[in-house]
Structure 1
Amino acid sequence: MTPDEITELFTRSDGSYAFARWGRPIAPVVFGVEDATLGVVKGALEAVCQMAGHTMAETDPELGVNFMVFFFRDWDELRHVPDLDRLIPDLVPLVERLETADANQYRIFRFDESGAIRACFVFLRMDDHLSAVPADTLALSQVVQSMLLWSDTAFTDRSPLAVTPGGATVLRPEIGALIRAAYDPVMPACADDPSHALRLAARVGQAQ
């Protein structure tokens, strides 16, 4: 990937450069699905963490769990989840905005004092579009988009996934290489200077 391509993936719609990776092991929990789908989500997370060189945990010592994925049919359901408004103080106006936009997914990150990701909340409203996506594809896509603080426009035109000639859905190789580079221990856990993309590009080039 070129430095410009990488820069674009972390440049937000307001023009600011914002990058962050997880600064702690990921302790996941999934709500609203059967055990089979739960296994698919955790399997995707394990695979991406292994590829990145990052770790998972059963619990987070501070938060208990720090990666929450919610599956539901209607945004209104979030208003009735016990204590969710304590985790997301602006929950009610957020739900109203998402209802108005007819959105089918939303992702919220929380950061520690160093700027690294400390928690992520993923909300998936299973409308006709998302319901038609195979569980393993949906899980992999959501995990990849939760591993880093990507731009809010990063994957609007092109998915981070690709379909092989055999029909399997996989992570695009260049996105996988970028995630590995981002989790290199010598790289910072967060960055707001576009020169960071140059360092990522150099590490992606070395890996390839």
Structure 2
Amino acid sequence: MGNTDIFEMMANRYDTSERIQIAKVAADAIREFVVDARSKNAIDFGCGTGLVGMNLLGDFNSILFLDTSQNMINRIKQKITEFDIRNADTLCFDFEKEDRSDLHADYIFMAQVLLHIPDTESVLSKLYDVLPVGGHLLIVDFNKNENIASDLVHNGFDQENLTKLMSKIGYREIQSKTIYSGSNIFMNHDASLFVLDAQK
């Protein structure tokens, strides 16, 4: 996944109060689309230090925390041990570079991850293959922001265009809405976040 080197360096100081607050907003937005999932399994894709997924452990049978940064995964392993969490596992893996046919989940959620992925269509297609029919992909990310220009990340996403792309891949019953606005939350610019739910 894009920018892995940066996240490797940030792992031990990633959990700031602002990130913890936004992760709770993201988790609450995801939870709105999670129905009767206590027997279902989920993947926290591009999980970072697990801030979003940790908020959702009670909603699923199990969560696999997946990231390309080994240091981020190590932080999650510490949390799993420290809090004696029984329904979580971890995997350090790069979906952009490799394929895994053995990964399956009823729900996949990704919070502020897609903006780091250069080829969004390829990764969204691979995630489609991980889901069963009726499975959900939930995305929380920034709305498109023309004030941001970066070689490292997308400057957010237009919800309508993202919906069209996902429909082309095969996702259905796609719905999205803006959930949060904040000051200086996206590369020192004011920005807003949306949640998108799509089914296979």
TM-score normalised over the length of structure 1 = 0.30
Rg larger in structure: 1
Structure with greater proportional helix content: 1
TM-score normalised over the length of structure 2 = 0.31
